[in-house]
Amino acid sequence: MLLVIDVGNTNITLAVMENGEVVGSFRLTTKTPRTSDEFGLQVLGLLGARGIVKEKIEDVIISSVVPGVMYSLQSGIIKYLGKTPLVVGAGVKTGIRIVTGNPREIGADRIVDAAAAYELYGGPVFVIDYGTATTYDLILEDGSFAAGITSPGIGICANALWNETAKLPEIEIKKPASILAKETVSSMQAGLVYGYIGQTEYIIRQVKKEAGMPDLKVVATGGLGKIIADETDLIDIYDPMLTMKGLWSIYMKNKKQ
């Protein structure tokens, strides 16, 4: 079994994979400070809750966009699982070639998503990840990472709405019954969800137009992505485990080497 870990700005997502399939997944909050012992014990506890003993974990791979977490996390994995994780970064084979202006600026999470979408669904492919930030990435037929677009995530937009206004309440992010809202909560939900559907559809159409790829396949992932994917026919595939599958794919490429 392989333990794959994706350290995002909001959550740390862990999954146990076997033969390319997710057999168990878990989440931790990224912003909670933890020592290596706390990380190690929490990981063991999460595995134990699924009946997975540490001896079954053959290796570990990590993708991270939060450098401050990495020392304690890696140390905890080494100390409690006895494995030195493979960390996605320079020198790691991914199957994706970066052709943008500054390759080092592309986050590991985007490379992992691109690797998964390209391997599973082929290229060219347009990958959308609805995370803390929403990222839109164009991968060409030869696996080149050609372009990327970044916007504030739905959660960031929602937080700004209720934190920066005096009277608007904190709300659940979901699609309201109608865009014709008649009270505050549904009006905020309508603005967030329908506004994001509009952003998504416009960016997809514009990318297809400027890239000259009218039949470009669109693959989406990310926790809140399902809300959007269910409401537009411009997203062809919604794969909530795309990042985990990408980490598996990258691990296998490097294991073979």
d(Cα 219, Cα 241) in Å, to the nearest integer? 12
Distance CA 108, CA 114 (A): 10
Compute CA distances 22 → 1, 138, 253, whole Å: 10, 26, 18
Query: What is the token pair recorded at 250?
Result: 């990258």
Distance, CA of 4 to CA of 13 (rounded, Å): 8
- Please give the Cα distance from 100 to 30 (Å, whole number): 29
Burial string for 175-203 (b: 16+ CB within 10 Å, else e) reads bbeeeebeeeebbbbbbbbeebbebbbeb
The total of other beta-carbon atoms located within 10 Å of residue 246's CB is 33
DSSP string, 139-192: E-TTSEEEEEEEEE-HHHHHHHHHHSSSSPPP------S-SS--SHHHHHHHHH
Q: 109, 113, 137, 239: which one is catalytic? A: 109
Known catalytic membership, residue 109? yes
Catalytic residues: 109
